[in-house]
Amino acid sequence: MKLSIGPIQYFWERQRVLDFYQQVADCPAEIIYLGEVICSKRRLLTFEDWLAIGNELQQSGKEVILSSLTLLEAASEMASLKKLCTNQSFMVEANDISAVQILYKQKQPFVTGPSVNIYNSRSLKLLAEKGLKRWVLPVELGLETLRDLQAERPEGVETEVFALGRLPLAYSARCYTARSHNLPKDDCRFKCIEYPDGRLLKTREEQDFLVLNGIQTQSALTHQVLDQLPSLRALAVDVLRISPQSEHTMHIVEVFDAALAGDDTDPLLETLLDLLPIGACNGYLLEHAGMNLNPEAKHETPQTA
Amino acid sequence: MELVCPAGNLPSLKAAVDNGADAVYMGFKDDTNARHFAGLNFTQRTFEKAVSYAHDKGRKVYVAINTFPQPAGFERWKAAVDQAADYGVDALILADMGVLDYASSKWPDLRLHLSVQASVTTAEGIGFYHDNFGIRRVVLPRVLSVRQVAHVITQSPVPVEVFGFGSLCVMVEGRCLLSSYATGRSPNTYGACSPASHVRWEETGDGTNTRLNGVLIDHYAEGEKAGYPTLCKGRFQVGEHTFYALEEPTSLNTLSILPELRKIGVSAIKVEGRQRSPAYVAQVTAVMRAAIDSCMENPVGYQAKSQWMRELSNVSEGSQTTLGAYHRPWQ
């Protein structure tokens, strides 16, 4: 199984992003996703900047994919998407069906991100016929569905699983970070830059519940599948995605790399838990509520695909 | 503009038809549609009666099979498609690509409408479903401003239907997993958001707590009317403040912008509320019928009557209404 680094979900200062990808160039992850997937107002890096980062990473031996915006509302966002899809250097991750349509019409192969709803084999087959080369399992789907999908997967299509990160749960026309500062989206003052891991939302009894990241809502807990690697391997998963956090992402990649190399998982899991902003969950993979953590399930291995 | 009204059961369907709906939409008693609630929806017997009632009065019947089957359940969605087609309904409202592929191949003459659950907000996206499955109409998610809806309409290969009244989803439909994060069940995988199976009402010393799988969604003081704990409509703590961080309980109400919707070329207005009572359906259908007729007859002189607004507020969440994303400042 390979490791990928998913697109940065948050709004970071330009230099922070550049420094991050300098580190990425030397890390064990083979596949790197670049680009803004949440909000078109976040423009500290231009399209040309992303291409430049991509070129450098490619020269370091990485496979580079450009990720597209997840929720498209404005005509200008469609124009940017079209521009992204015409790039000749890198394959595009479609995070909305609009991108799939554009890429298909241009006869270009593509990747789909977790927000493109592939829930069954017929959908997967259909998209494979349109040029799908890799897809990311929608995050709420579990091992049983993954097993069934892998059993019928089309030739030449790689399967990627969201292996670590705060879960992308919802997208809105509203900007929740701005709203938490009593500001409308059109005058957001880029508040989301103040929250490099998103802004925490708690219940009225102080349970850490969700995270506000601009128009996206995430889980407060970090989904992690480190203790499920044997199952994922048995199901012939090709890529594990690590979603960047403001800190420790490279260390996390090393932990997963060590696990894939066969190192003992228990101490690695302990190390991993210390690197997360709040704590871990893995319910989705085990057909539970996403927020649950099920340590008793870690020794289960489903039937091989 | 066609008025499309919800039919959660036979009495509601009759209420919709009797009060002037041009079309009704309904579902089967299972997770093949996104209003999978106990006591709701149609069995074989009531389904037949429903279709007859509507067709006898010259109204259309649309069947929602708009959730996303996983491999283990796919045959059930195919069976639902076949069953609806057998009954001679006027259109299916679908979201999943696999189901659309099945329906368009097996029943090439059956009209397919693209559900809001397909989460399509652009003409290109609509084009995908039109090119591949021959959809004949699209229902747009409630995330676009009126201007953005207008833009989509100018480039859409098919007529556009928009929500005109009812409970509001603040997150783009079809890609919201908040409910399954908390409970393991989402509209996509189970046909329900914030399912009743996981709801608990707790009387405390100083009021009522509403919980979803144990998570505190809101607390109501004595005398405060406790609402159903739909996850995104709770009050939460962000920084120093406790407030409706995601959305207030409120209903969408487009009465005041009907002329604009007509002008930009909206083909159908959809009322949300299959889980609501026949009284709700009767009231909302009657008001929307009167308003649409008034708007079509005299778009320039149209005014949303205060009586209409009052009647709609009475059946609205939190007794208040909003223009939602149609109105840019709301975003």
- DSSP string for residues in A32-74: EEES--S-TT--SS-HHHHHHHHHHHHHTT-EEEEE--SS--S
Alpha-carbon gap, residue A154 to A61, rounded angstroms: 27
Closest listed residue to residue B188, CA positions, set B69, B74, B273? B69
Measured between beta carbons, the chain A residues lying within 8 angstroms of B144 are: 73, 173
Cβ contact, residue pair A78, B122, below 8 Å = yes
Measured between beta carbons, the chain A residues lying within 8 angstroms of B325 are: 173-174
3-state class (DSSP) for residue A239: strand
- Scan for tokens 């087609």, then name that residue: B85
pLDDT digits (tens, 9 = 90+) for B231-285: 999 999 999 999 999 998 889 999 999 999 999 999 999 999 999 999 999 999 9
Q: Which residue of B has its CA nearest to A282?
A: B181
Q: Is A205 on the interface with B (CB under 8 A)?
A: yes
Residue of A71, A180, A203 lying closest to B215 (CB–CB): A203
Q: Which residue of B has its CA nearest to A285?
A: B184
Topology at the third CATH level for domain A2-165+223-267: TIM Barrel (3.20.20)
Residue of B98, B127, B143 lying closest to A73 (CB–CB): B143
Cβ contact, residue pair A101, B101, below 8 Å = no
> What are the boundaries of each domain within chain A?
2-165+223-267
Cβ contact, residue pair A71, B148, below 8 Å = no
The number of C-alpha atoms within 13 Å of A106 and in the hemisphere containing its C-beta is: 19
Q: Which residue of B has its CA nearest to A219?
A: B181
Alpha-carbon gap, residue B150 to B139, rounded angstroms: 14
pLDDT digits (tens, 9 = 90+) for B181-203: 999 999 999 999 999 999 999 99
Mean of pLDDT over chain B = 96
pLDDT digits (tens, 9 = 90+) for B104-127: 999 999 999 999 999 999 999 999
Minimal C-alpha gap between A52 and chain B (Å): 28
Measured between beta carbons, the chain B residues lying within 8 angstroms of A101 are: 124-125, 127-128, 131
Q: Is A127 on the interface with B (CB under 8 A)?
A: yes
Alpha-carbon gap, residue B138 to B115, rounded angstroms: 6
Question: Which ranges of B112-191 does DSSP label H, i.e. alpha helix?
Answer: 123-133, 146-155, 178-183, 187-190
ipTM for the predicted complex comes to 0.96
- Scan for tokens 């009666």, then name that residue: B49
Alpha-carbon gap, residue B17 to B322, rounded angstroms: 26
Alpha-carbon gap, residue A132 to A103, rounded angstroms: 10
Residue of A71, A141, A212 lying closest to B238 (CB–CB): A212
Q: Which residue of B has its CA nearest to A121?
A: B71
Cβ contact, residue pair B101, A185, below 8 Å = no
Cβ contact, residue pair A203, B216, below 8 Å = yes
Find all residues with CB under 8 Å of B231, minimum gap 6, and list them: B178, B179, B182, B193, B194, B212, B217
**pLDDT confidence of B331, banded at 50, 70, 90?**
confident
Cβ contact, residue pair B331, A173, below 8 Å = yes
Minimal C-alpha gap between B116 and chain A (Å): 13
pLDDT digits (tens, 9 = 90+) for A241-297: 999 999 999 999 999 999 999 999 999 999 999 999 999 999 999 999 999 998 555
On whether the CB atoms of residues A268 and A219 are closer than 8 A, the answer is: no
The predicted structure's pLDDT at residue A295: 52
Measured over the CA atoms of residue B236, residue B240, residue B246 and residue B249, the dihedral's sign is positive
